[in-house]
Amino acid sequence: MGIPKPAAERLARLMQLLEQRKDRESPVSSAELEYITGWPSHTIRKDISFLAAGNDISTPAGYNPARLAQAINGALGFARATHNCCVVGLGRMGSAFLEYGGFHDSLFTLCAGFDSNVNRVEILRADIPLYPAFKMKEIIPRLDITYALLAVPPDQARQTALRLAECGIRGIVNFTPVMLSVPPGVEVEQVSVLDALGALAARLAVGDKT
């Protein structure tokens, strides 16, 4: 019954690609997806086969993008129109998200920012409301925010993550180089540059041929 986690992650990415794609009508073949993603077509077909079919996703010329996206949506429980996110920590990194356009036509909406520095909160201009950090406990449930982008200074990372968990955050994208430990039920995705560089170096060293 379960979709393997790697497959689920690929499907999630596939869906984002489908959303970006202008043409929502003409069918997309697994070969084309292979070209775009770099993943072999049989892997893609297999991944798609994990979605309990039912819907007629495929046509003789390939997959129907709209129905495919919908099926992934369903299977991964991306049921709601969008998931609400907040940025925590509005330094260079954090405030960069305030003007990041990528959230448009994605599954995620950035709908609040927090910083412990009240000054900064007042000075920054943004299209979304910014709050002092002590209001997290009030705002996060109120706005139904499930995900947090954590961009605070390293020494505040751990405690902030715990506070976020207490506020009901389910997933944290961790931009700090600090490794977080969070209560069960909360997921963390590490996106430190250093980790990324380390992973690259490791792959180059081991001689991967992805």
Partner DNA sequence: TTGTGTGAAAGCTTTCACAGCA
Partner DNA sequence: TGCTGTGAAAGCTTTCACACAA
Q: Summarize as ranges the residues that interact with DNA (CB under 7 A).
A: 4-7, 29-31, 40-43, 45-49, 53, 57-58, 60-63
Sites for its own copies among residues 155-174 (CB under 8 A)? 170-173
Cβ 134 to its own copies, closest distance in Å?
Answer: 25
DSSP classification of residue 99? G
Is 192 near its own copies (CB under 8 A)? yes
Positive or negative torsion for Cα 116, 180, 129, 167: negative
Amino acid identity, residue 200? L
Size of the residue set binding its own copies (CB under 8 A): 69
Residue 197 neighbours by CB under 8 Å, 6+ apart? none
Minimum distance of DNA from residue 6's CB (angstroms): 4
Least distance between DNA and beta carbon 208 (Å): 9
Where is 112: in which H helix or E strand?
Answer: strand 108-115
Q: Which does 129 bind (CB under 5 to 8 A by kind): its own copies, DNA, none?
A: none
The encoded tokens of residue 17 equal 């690609």
Q: How far is CA 55 from the centre of its chain?
A: 26
Kind plus residue range of the DSSP H or E element containing 195: helix 193-206
How many CB atoms lie under 10 A from the CB of residue 11? 23
- Our CB check for DNA shows the closer of 127 and 208 to be 208
CB 175 within 8 A of CB 191: yes
Q: Pick from its own copies, DNA, none: which does 143 bind, CB < 5 to 8 A by kind?
A: none
Residues that bind its own copies (CB under 8 A): 2-3, 5, 8-9, 11-13, 15-17, 20, 35-38, 75-78, 83, 85, 91-93, 95-97, 99-103, 106-108, 147, 149, 154, 170-173, 177, 179, 181, 184, 187, 189, 191-210
